[in-house]
């Protein structure tokens, strides 16, 4: 047998023997490949965004192994952070290990959690990091230590979105359509996309604004404004309310984020648009036309009293079909004579409307209370009522007091004597005054002896010329 035949014979013997008695190679059975699946900040149920300056933030890396037929356990993984990314562990180090219990088959997700501080100088970017994974391999008969595996992973510092909501103005008037602007601003450091906003209000009806507002993308520093109108019922005045903003959007990390925020606003008390002043006519020496001056809120004695009311409207919009009802407090004592309900077709903005009334005062003293109710409709057709009350003091009437004075004292018997009689009213105004003059015998009047005067005001003097002879 030559050497070549001998060598072939020995080789065949070894191959045959090895097929009967298997040999376990440590390297082939302790090497397992790991895969990087994903990484995120926060928790699996509540992922969050991070920005430079955030501290003690949980950072999670998901890995798995792909060697079928193996089970691994005793995982201990060190996260290695490059110095250049300015992200460190909470103790200031750049490497730290965490252990994970349990047994994992191929494809099972393994979650590793680390707590990190992000320096304010960190760049907003996707950073490369590494995992150094130590583990055990579980076999049917025993457990062996696997080869340390170094796995590349990513750590995203992409900024943090922060949406701010503004409502301008934040004070509204009842009974009106109030224009407003709703503004959404991204005051964060990360873009958002697929923004869906549901805008509702506790009090007031929204017009000219969709309930659902959509924004395709909103970058840091960008804002989007929406215009609308808010109508507030006049019965809901003088209160504070809020707008409710429910928002869903996609973060820079691709996660869906939802939030609900409120914006407070207030509703002014319902402003009275009408004021009422009782007026009276006053004649001046310069004009025969009367001027209207404010009444002194006094009535003299009982009887019919003419009264003029000035309805002062300060609204900026004209009103249609305004109803004005005037009544007295005690119908047994005093009433409004004639038409107590006035319907005015149109009242222009910032205008004055004149109402003439006749009051019947039954008593000579006390008070006369006049109630005025004004009814009109607002922008949407809701009925608004305004009420005012005027109180007049009724004083007993003054007594008439006329004094006379004749300026002729020397009388000549043989001629016609001329004189002047001065009548002075010291009391209340008099109307329908009739004056008759007579002289004693043997004299007689040779002029007019009776005078009819329509009115003599208080403190007014009337001069009458007379002639008489023997």
CB atoms within 10 A of CB 351: 14
Do 454 and 432 touch, CB atoms closer than 8 A?
yes
Confidence at 1, pLDDT banded by 50, 70, 90: very low
For 358, phi and psi rounded to 5 degrees? -125, 120
- 131, pLDDT greater than 50: yes
- 3, pLDDT greater than 50: no
Q: Which residue has the higher pLDDT, 67 or 353?
A: 353
pLDDT of 319-376, one tens digit each? 889 999 988 876 556 677 767 888 999 999 899 888 888 877 776 667 778 888 999 9
- 10, pLDDT greater than 50: no
Confidence at 67, pLDDT banded by 50, 70, 90: confident
Q: What is the mean pLDDT of residues 141-157?
A: 92
Torsion of CA 33, 36, 42, 48, to 10 degrees: 180
Q: What is the DSSP string of 84-108?
A: GG-EEETTS-SEEEEEE-S-B-TT-
Q: Is the bond leading into 233 cis (omega within 30 degrees of zero)?
A: no
pLDDT of 11-30, one tens digit each? 433 333 333 333 333 334 46
Q: What is residue 416's predicted lDDT score, i.e. its pLDDT? A: 78
Do 362 and 334 touch, CB atoms closer than 8 A?
yes
CB atoms within 10 A of CB 178: 19
Is the four-CA dihedral 301, 302, 307, 312 of positive or negative sign? positive
Q: By C-alpha distance, which of 183, 94, 82 is closest to 123?
A: 82
Distance, CA of 404 to CA of 424 (rounded, Å): 7
Q: What is the DSSP string of 372-423?
A: EEEEEE-TTS-EEEEEEEEEEEEEPPPPP-EEEEE------TTS-EEEEEEE
pLDDT of 281-319, one tens digit each? 655 555 555 566 666 666 666 677 788 888 889 888 888
Which residues, in sequence order, are CB contacts of 211 under 8 Å at separation 6+? 198, 199, 200
Full-model pTM = 0.61
Q: What is residue 4's predicted lDDT score, i.e. its pLDDT? A: 46
Do 182 and 170 touch, CB atoms closer than 8 A?
no
Q: By C-alpha distance, which of 73, 117, 113, 118 is closest to 97?
A: 113
Region of 301 on the Ramachandran plot (φ > 0 left; ψ -120 to 50 alpha; else beta): left
Q: What is residue 23's predicted lDDT score, i.e. its pLDDT? A: 33
Q: What is residue 155's predicted lDDT score, i.e. its pLDDT? A: 96
Confidence at 6, pLDDT banded by 50, 70, 90: very low
Q: Among 19-28, 103-112, 141-150, 450-459, where is mean pLDDT lowest? A: 19-28
- Hey, what are 352's tokens? 């004055």
Q: What is the mean pLDDT of residues 99-121?
A: 95
pLDDT of 218-258, one tens digit each? 999 999 999 999 998 888 888 999 999 999 999 998 989 99
Do 32 and 135 touch, CB atoms closer than 8 A?
yes
Q: Which residue has the higher pLDDT, 225 or 398?
A: 225
Q: What is residue 401's predicted lDDT score, i.e. its pLDDT? A: 64
Do 63 and 37 touch, CB atoms closer than 8 A?
yes
First-to-last CA distance in the chain? 203
Percent of the chain with pLDDT over 90: 43
Which residues, in sequence order, are CB contacts of 37 under 8 Å at separation 6+? 62, 63, 64, 109
Q: What is residue 37's predicted lDDT score, i.e. its pLDDT? A: 96
Q: What is the mean pLDDT of residues 73-101?
A: 96
Distance, CA of 126 to CA of 290 (rounded, Å): 88
> Scanning the structure block, which residue is given the tokens 């079928």?
68
Total residues found in the chain within this entry: 470
- 414, pLDDT greater than 90: no
Percent of the chain with pLDDT over 70: 82
Q: Among 9-23, 65-79, 139-153, 173-187, where is mean pLDDT lowest? A: 9-23
Q: What is residue 262's predicted lDDT score, i.e. its pLDDT? A: 96
Q: What is the mean pLDDT of residues 263-269?
A: 92
Do 305 and 355 touch, CB atoms closer than 8 A?
no
Distance, CA of 244 to CA of 258 (rounded, Å): 13
- 69, pLDDT greater than 70: yes
């Amino acid at each position: 047998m030559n050497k070549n035949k001998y060598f072939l014979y020995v080789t065949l013997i070894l191959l045959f023997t090895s097929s009967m008695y298997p040999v376990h190679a440590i390297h082939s059975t302790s090497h397992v490949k790991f895969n990087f699946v994903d990484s995120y900040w926060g928790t699996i149920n509540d992922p969050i965004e991070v920005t430079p300056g955030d501290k003690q933030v949980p950072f999670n890396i998901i890995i798995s192994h792909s060697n079928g037929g193996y089970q691994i356990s005793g995982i201990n993984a060190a996260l290695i952070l490059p110095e250049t990314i300015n992200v460190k562990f909470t103790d200031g180090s750049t490497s730290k290990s965490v252990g994970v219990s349990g047994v994992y088959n191929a494809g099972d997700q393994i979650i590793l959690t680390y707590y990190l501080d992000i320096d304010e100088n960190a760049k907003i970017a996707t950073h490369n990091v590494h995992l150094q994974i130590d583990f055990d391999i579980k076999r049917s008969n025993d457990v062996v230590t696997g080869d340390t595996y170094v796995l590349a992973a990513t750590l995203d510092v992409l900024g943090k979105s922060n949406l701010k909501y503004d409502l301008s103005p934040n004070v509204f008037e009842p009974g009106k359509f109030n224009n407003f602007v709703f503004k959404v601003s991204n005051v964060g450091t990360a873009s958002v996309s697929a923004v869906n906003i549901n805008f509702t209000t506790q009090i007031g009806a929204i017009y000219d604004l969709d309930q659902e507002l959509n924004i395709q993308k909103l970058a840091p520093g960008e804002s989007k404004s929406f215009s609308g109108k808010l109508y507030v019922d006049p019965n809901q005045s003088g209160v504070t309310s809020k707008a409710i903003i429910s928002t869903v959007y996609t973060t820079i990390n691709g996660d869906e984020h939802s939030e609900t925020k409120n914006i407070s606003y207030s509703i002014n008390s319902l402003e009275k648009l009408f004021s009422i002043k009782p007026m009276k006519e006053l004649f001046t020496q310069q004009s025969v036309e009367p001027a209207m001056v404010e009444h002194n809120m006094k009535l003299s004695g009982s009887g019919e009293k003419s009264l003029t009311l000035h309805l002062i409207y300060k609204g900026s919009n004209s009103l249609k079909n305004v109803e004005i009802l005037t009544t007295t407090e005690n119908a047994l004592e005093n009433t409004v004579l004639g038409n107590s309900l006035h319907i005015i077709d149109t009242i222009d903005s910032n205008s004055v409307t004149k109402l003439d009334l006749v009051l019947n005062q039954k008593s000579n003293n006390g008070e006369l209370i006049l109630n005025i109710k004004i009814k009109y409709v607002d922008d949407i057709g809701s009925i608004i009522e305004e009420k005012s009350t005027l109180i007049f003091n009724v004083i007993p009437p003054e007594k008439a007091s006329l004094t006379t004075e004749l300026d002729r004292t020397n009388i000549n018997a043989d001629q016609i004597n001329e004189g002047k009689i001065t009548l002075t009213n010291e009391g209340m105004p008099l109307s329908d005054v009739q004056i008759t003059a007579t002289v004693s015998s043997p004299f007689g009047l040779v002029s007019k002896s009776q005078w009819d005067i329509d009115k003599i005001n208080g403190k007014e003097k009337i001069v009458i010329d007379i002639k008489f002879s023997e």
